[in-house]
Amino acid sequence: MAQESPTFSPLYRQIKTLIVQGLENGEWRPGEAIPSESDLAVRFNVSQGTVRKAIDEMAAENLVVRRQGKGTYVATHSDPRAFFRFLRLVPLSGEVEPSISVPLECWRAKAGPEAAKTLQINIGEPIIIVRRLLQFSGKPVVVDEIYLPGDVFTGLTLDVLKDYQGSLYSLFESRFGVRMIHAEERIRAVAADRVSADLLGVAEGAPLLSVERVSLTYGDKPVEWRRGLYCTAEHCYLNELS
Amino acid sequence: MAQESPTFSPLYRQIKTLIVQGLENGEWRPGEAIPSESDLAVRFNVSQGTVRKAIDEMAAENLVVRRQGKGTYVATHSDPRAFFRFLRLVPLSGEVEPSISVPLECWRAKAGPEAAKTLQINIGEPIIIVRRLLQFSGKPVVVDEIYLPGDVFTGLTLDVLKDYQGSLYSLFESRFGVRMIHAEERIRAVAADRVSADLLGVAEGAPLLSVERVSLTYGDKPVEWRRGLYCTAEHCYLNELS
DNA sequence: GAGTGGTCTAGACCACTGC
DNA sequence: CAGTGGTCTAGACCACTCG
């Protein structure tokens, strides 16, 4: 017999979708607590265990953070613990150190075929391009070129970038309401071009890590495309396989 | 008041430990099914829900694979689905293609300070070093140098490697009972040395990805240290961030 | 239809936090 | 102490696989 319920979705997943919608709609903002499991159970008219399973999945996806005895909180990029979730660069030896972002340029352009395809917008639609440097203990280690859809990031200027203290994603979250929740990186080794070599203080042609990232927000909608060149003379990209 | 139970471990985690021990001891072998949840519940004298939660964690850690309606199976590197779990190399364009391992050398040596530290053995203990090439559609893309603790892999020779069809980890699992369940990779960009350049068919000094991996088995015991040089002219290292 | 994993419930109790 | 997440149980029922 044919499959009876091709679109079967368990109750806890429907509940999860509802709670995620609450996050999307801003019903609960980053850093805030969502209602308790029993409150949500009453609200959605299901058992507490079902709400729990929904939140379990959300916690596994880093959408939300549980704190025993306190509550469940909406994940935020302002949380220092989230800093190294997307930047997997660690020193070859020594302690993990915080990075400083140095914005270089910020200009507007129209999306070319590649940017349009990656950001899932139409060719010719406005985009914003940011170039910035990442420094560890004063030394430049990464140069990033970041492509953003212009309609979402209206008002983003070099001055805004320079004024902000904290990570880029933290700015995107608090200023533009855009939360990166997932990303895919493609890593290659390339030879440093003249400009990047100068910025990173290495010889032209030196090997660099090219890290191309597409960041997604709710519903797997792409909202950032960036290409970083990482100098791995004193740092390395750390990845856990499991 | 001071914390009352610093070593508190929930029941389901104790059950999990017991089941994992069954895997370690070979009570259930890779590819086989473990007993049903209700059987295990009876055996350990807990409720089925508690067994379920234990297995949930094991499934999340890829120790075990659930198949609805059939049972729960011990994960195996022979399963094609596990092939790309540790090799995150995909073509820049086109379909994912299977890789072929070409063993080049296999010799015995004594562990130096670095190998000893990484493999957590004593300096001077026997190790085995393997060099091999990885080819995609006939072209060499990766050259690996692999360090293994000699006492675990006794009997490993170049002929054994050449005779075996399938992945290295599949061989380690079936021939030596060693299961890699976790790994950590450190990625850098380096310039190709003369030998590697020749093997990979690139110019000396061409940028290559250096991927250093430590693989761990049960109890986070390191059992493999390898360094791979990846040519990323037509492939890239793909990584999901979440 | 029997057996397995997957879902859902209701209720009890434990561990942690903060007032 | 009240409120929150975390654990554990027992039982019912659903979805899937296979003989």
Domain assignments of chain A as residue spans, ordered by start: 11-74, 80-237
Measured CA B36 to C1' C8 distance, in angstroms: 20
Q: Is the CB of A85 under 7 A from strand D?
A: no
Q: How far apart are CA A217 and CA A192, in angstroms?
A: 31
CB of B210 closer than 8 Å to CB of B189 = yes
Arithmetic mean of pLDDT over chain B: 94
More reliable by pLDDT, B146 or B97: B146
Q: Give mean pLDDT, residues A157-181.
A: 95
Residue that is written with structure tokens 């990625």 in the block:
B187
Pick from A185, A206, A241: which is nearest to B182 by CB? A241
Say how many CA atoms lie within 13 Å of B184 toward its Cβ.
12
**Rg for chain A (alpha carbons), in Å?**
21
Looking at the domain that runs over A11-74, which CATH code has it been given?
Answer: 1.10.10.10
- Please tell me which of the candidates B181, B207, B242 has its beta carbon nearest to residue A191: B207
Whether the pLDDT of residue B8 is over 90: the answer is: no
B2 pLDDT band, cuts 50/70/90, is: very low
Proximity of residue A32 CB to strand D below 7 A: no
Q: How far is the C-alpha of A108 from the C-alpha of B68, rounded, in Å?
A: 52
Put simply, the answer to whether B241 touches A86 (Cβ < 8 Å) is yes
* Cα three-residue angle A204-A205-A208, rounded to 5 degrees: 105
> How far is the C-alpha of B102 from the C-alpha of B120, rounded, in Å?
28
Phi, psi of B94 (to 5 degrees): 100, 180
Residue A228 CA to residue A133 CA, distance in Å, equals 9
Query: How many helices (H) does chain B have, and how many strands (E)?
Result: 8, 11
Lowest-pLDDT choice from A44-58, A77-91, A150-164, B115-129 = A77-91
A7/B29 Cα distance (integer angstroms):
35
- A11-74 and A80-237 agree in CATH topology: no
Find all residues with CB under 8 Å of B79, minimum gap 6, and list them.
Answer: B31, B65
Give whole-number Cα distances, B121 to B112, B154, B172, B177, in Å: 10, 15, 19, 19
Cβ pair A22, A72 in contact under 8 A: no
* Count of all residues that appear for chain A in the document: 242
Taking residue A74's Cβ as centre, other Cβ atoms within 10 Å add up to 20
Nucleotides of D under 7 A from a protein CB: 3-11, 15-18
Contact B189/B208 with Cβ under 8 angstroms?
A: yes
CATH number of B80-237: 3.40.50.2300, 3.40.1410.10, 3.30.1330.40, 3.30.1640.10? 3.40.1410.10
What is the model's pTM? 0.93
d(CA A45, CA A51): 10
Residues A134-154 pLDDT 10s:
999 999 999 999 999 999 999
What was the pLDDT predicted at A222?
Answer: 97
pLDDT tens for each residue of B195-208 = 999 999 999 999 99
Half-sphere exposure of residue A67, counting CA atoms within 13 Å on the CB side? 11
